[in-house]
Structure formats: C-alpha cells, structure tokens
Amino acid sequence: MSDLRARAEEWLGQDPDPRTRAELQAILDADDGAALADRFGARLEFGTAGLRGELGAGPNRMNRVTVMRAAAGLAARLPAGGRVIIGFDARHGSRRFADDTAAVLSGAGLRPEVFADPVPTPVLAHFTRAFADIVAGVMVTASHNPPRDNGYKVYWADGAQIVPPTDAEISAAIDAVGRVDELPLGEGWPVHEGADLYLDAVSSLRLGGDRDVSIVYTPLHGVGRDVLLTAFERAGFPAPTVVPEQAEPDPDFPTVDFPNPEEPGALDLALGLAEARGADLVIANDPDADRCAVAVPGPSGWRTLTGDEVGGLLAEHVLRHTTGGDRLVATTIVSSSLLRSIAAAHRVRFAETLTGFKWIMKAGGAQSSSGGRGGSSPHSEPGSSGGRGGSSPHSSPVRLVFGYEEALGYSVGDDRGVLVNDKDGIGAALAVAALAADAKRDGRTLLDLLDAQARRYGLHATSQLSIRVSDLSLITAAMARLRAEPPRELGGRRVESFDDLARPAGDLPPTDGLRFRLAGGSRVVVRPSGTEPKLKCYLEVVLPVDGDVAAVRARAAADLESLRADVSAALG
C-alpha cells in the first residue's frame, strides 16, 4: 500500500489536469487501497492498437499524463522536423488530448498539425499518407467503446496503423519518459480546417453509376454525419435521412447502451425510421466512422447483414468495377472463407492475414512505402494467400482494391487501389449505396444478391461465440486445454487439421490463436480478444446450395448452433 501511495503522490505532483488531480486526491484522502491498486497496480499497454482505456487518474487510465507520455515516446521514434497530423473525435477529453500531443511533439522538434474540429478516423488516416513530409498521424478516439473510455491510435507515414516492431519500440520509449511536467512543450502549431482532401477522394471512387436509393443513416452520436452527407452529395446520391435522436455528436451516447452498431438494440431507432419511411437501406457508422453496418428490408422485417455478408457483396461489386489480374483482395483468418472463392472466380489475388486492419493493409504493401494509392505485395496467385506483406526483389506489383474484416470493417478502392489504408466506414457506405442502387435498377435487393452468391459459391454462414471473464487466467487455461487436447470432432464434423497459430503457420506471423479446419470446408478459430477480457470464437459452416436457398440457410443456422455448443463444451 505504501508503494502505491508513493506512486500516486508522484503522479499527483506532475498531473496538469485539475479534474484527475481532484479524483486522485480524494482516493488518497480516503486511503482507498482498492482504487489505488486499480489505477497504479498496472498500466495501459501501448501496442499495435495504441492505447485504449477508461478515463481517470493513474497509469492504468486514459488521462493527460498518459497521453503526454505516449506523445513523448512517439516523438523519440520519429525523425526530427517531421510533420505529424493529429485528429480527434467528440469523446470526453479528445480535444484536450490532441492539443497535449501537439504540445509535446512540438517541444520535441516535430511539426504537429491539429484538425480544428472532430473528424472521422478515415479522414485522419487518408490525410496521413497524402503528403511526403508527414511521418506519422495520431487519432484520439476509442471508436465504439463505452462513454467512459478514450484511446490513442498511431498511424505511420503510409496511413496504416503501426505493426511490430514499431509498437514495441514506441512502448520502450514511453517507459523511458520521465515526469511530464519536465517535458519541453511547444505552442502555436498549425490548425487544419475541414475534410476536403478526403471528400474529394472518396466522392470520386468509380464504383457504379446508379444513384436511385433511399437510405436512413445514423452516426450513433459520433462524428461521421457531416462528412458522410457531404460525400453522398458530391457523389450524386440523394441525401440520406439521418436519425434525429442520434444525429449530433454526444460523448455520453444517450440513446444506446453501447455505441457499437453490432450490439443488439443499437440500430433500433434507425430501423424504426426506415420502416416508417419505406427506405431501401439502413446504414450506420460507429462513433468514429471507421465501421459500417447495413440493414435491409426482407419478407420477415428488417434484417441486419453480418460483416461477412457485406464483405462478400462489396468484394464482388469492387471487382466488377475494376480490371486487371494484378488486383488483390484481403481479409483475416477469422473472417469468412468466401472471399477466397470470390477471388478465384474473378482471377485476382487473395491474401489472408492476422486479425486487425493493420495486417490487411500490410498484405497490400501499405507499410513498404510512404504514400500513394496502393502499394506492393508478395507474389500471390489468383485465389491464393498473399503472405505477410512488404516488398522484395521478387515481388509482383499488385493493387489492393478491397480489404475487409468481419467486425464491420471495410476498405474499398477502384482501379487506383484502396482509398484509405485502414477501415473506412464512409467509403464503405458509398460503395454499399452504389451496390444497392445497381440492384434496385435490376429489380433486385441485397438479399437477392446474397442468395445468388450462395448458389455460386456455396452458403458460407458465420457466427461468433464470445466469453467474457473477470479473471484473465481463465482464458490462458482454456487455450492451454485446447492446445493439449484438441477435439477430434466439432458440431458433428470431423476436425481434419489443427493449427496452433502461436507457432509459425505459413506466411502468418505468430499469434495467440487456434484454428480447427473441419470436414466440408467449415472451420473454427479461437483467440483471446486484443482489447477486452474476452475469449472469442469464430464459427463458419459451408454448405452447397442446390435448390431452395432458404432451406439451406435454416440448416446452416442449426449447424452453427451445434458447433457453438460443442466449442463451448470444449472450452469448459
């Protein structure tokens, strides 16, 4: 307890924020050992996703001291005099954290530039790779986390999030930072106005010509609305109807329990408005607008599409509107295997990566150059894995035209390559609108297109099982148990192969994950979450379709439930 008090008092002496100083002083005055241990017994770890955590005092919280230390560590890894672009969302503390970052970077001899107002994450990511003198970007956001959280993402000069070993180098530099009240701080950095650079690029995506589609849109109290509406206008689409209760940025997210469009109930207001207006489509962004959710009307009411369903539809739409065998599409090991089949049918290259958009972008060579649309990638045959990314003397130049992950993340492009080297919920929304307008012109819906894909490639049905724990040792024990005694059968299907992804697996870097390949093309992937105390299981069954697609969907749903039950039992 005395050690924790000493750490807390040292922190109190350097904290520039009166609110967190008052919080910490109250804890010290109350001699609250549990609160001190929670805040000072650990620290937020800086990794490839940067920082993310609850707001409050101490190293295990997001606060001005934590942010200034992160900025100083980043500065130590960047070349002197380099330009750094800084964006922020509308969460509690985001603007202050952006200004603190700029002050530290400026004091370290860098040239920071801060957006004047909150911006979507894809705007920042696109800007980062647009100019040769930009060496990094920082986005202050916690994406779709609860209101009490905030976070800090770091982008490299290519506009992609950092990957190892850069994250470990920055983390080590953060550890070497002394007191933040002794850091040299600059002042008077430039302010960047507006999102025109991104808007010019996204509204010029060449992905179809039809525009007749009616859309209800929600930004879920985030920062996507103004940029999305302007992008739709510039691209020639009718203005989407915005859910009025969720239109304005609000860091408290008052109409949703959890500001994530994947969560049950998050889209209820949008679906109700769409039903009342007879809309063709519902589109939702998460609060920083890097994810995109889609819902469509069907025979039994409105249906929210899965990330894998949208990913498959967008992949074919992009490939129909682009040309050349040097195109690359990429997804992660936990997303549907459908994309591999689509790539093979269209005779383009395919890459499978670790979970996280930073790895998808690396498959397209995003971190082997300092800018531009597209990049280079290891040689990959049509329909085959593209490897870990980067370039080599034997690489064939490719254009990453589409990447996606099942968690509603998509990056769309045209013949010039992807627009953003990260998830882009606004570009994806435009592409979905174009796809729906094309289908409407032909007297079809997105559900009809899904059925057509099922007939062509087989039905790829996916689902998840997530287990939240209060003790992380339970996750470690469950993973060890599965490694020691992998099941021979899951969901009535024989386990044909088992990959421990912690060991080198082909072109994939090691990661804490397990993959079970089942008879008939089905599979299960189990991994600990990188951002939450969860064990996540990704389930897929693949069934041939010969006749009634609805009947096959019903069978797939039953098979997924059987698979879910067996995986749950195997995890104990």
Residue type, 50: G
* Residue 63, CB-side half-sphere exposure with 13 Å CA sphere: 24
Structure tokens at 159: 């506009």
Helix axes 549-571, 446-457, angle to 10 degrees: 80
- Give catalytic status of residue 143 as yes or no: yes
Largest CA distance in the chain: 72
- What are the residues whose beta carbons fall under 8 Å from the beta carbon of 383, sequence distance 6 or more? 340, 341, 343, 344, 347, 348, 349, 350
Q: How far are the Cα atoms of 34, 41, 339, 362 from residue 4, in angstroms, in the given order?
A: 10, 7, 51, 41
Distance in angstroms (rounded) separating the CA atoms of residues 330 and 474 = 33
Active-site annotation holder among 94, 106, 143, 337? 143
SS3 249: coil
How would you label 114-127 residue by residue, b for 16+ Cβ within 10 Å and e otherwise? Answer: bbebbbbbbbbbbb
* Cβ-contact 360, 403 below 8 angstroms: yes
- What are the residues whose beta carbons fall under 8 Å from the beta carbon of 14, sequence distance 6 or more? 65, 179, 180, 181, 182
* Cβ-contact 363, 158 below 8 angstroms: no
> Apex CA 133: angle with CA 131 and CA 135, to 5°?
100
Q: How far are the Cα atoms of 135, 141, 226, 264, 290 from residue 89, in angstroms, in the given order?
A: 21, 6, 13, 24, 12
- What are the residues whose beta carbons fall under 8 Å from the beta carbon of 3, sequence distance 6 or more? none
The structure tokens 């700029």 sit at 102
Show which residues are catalytic: 143
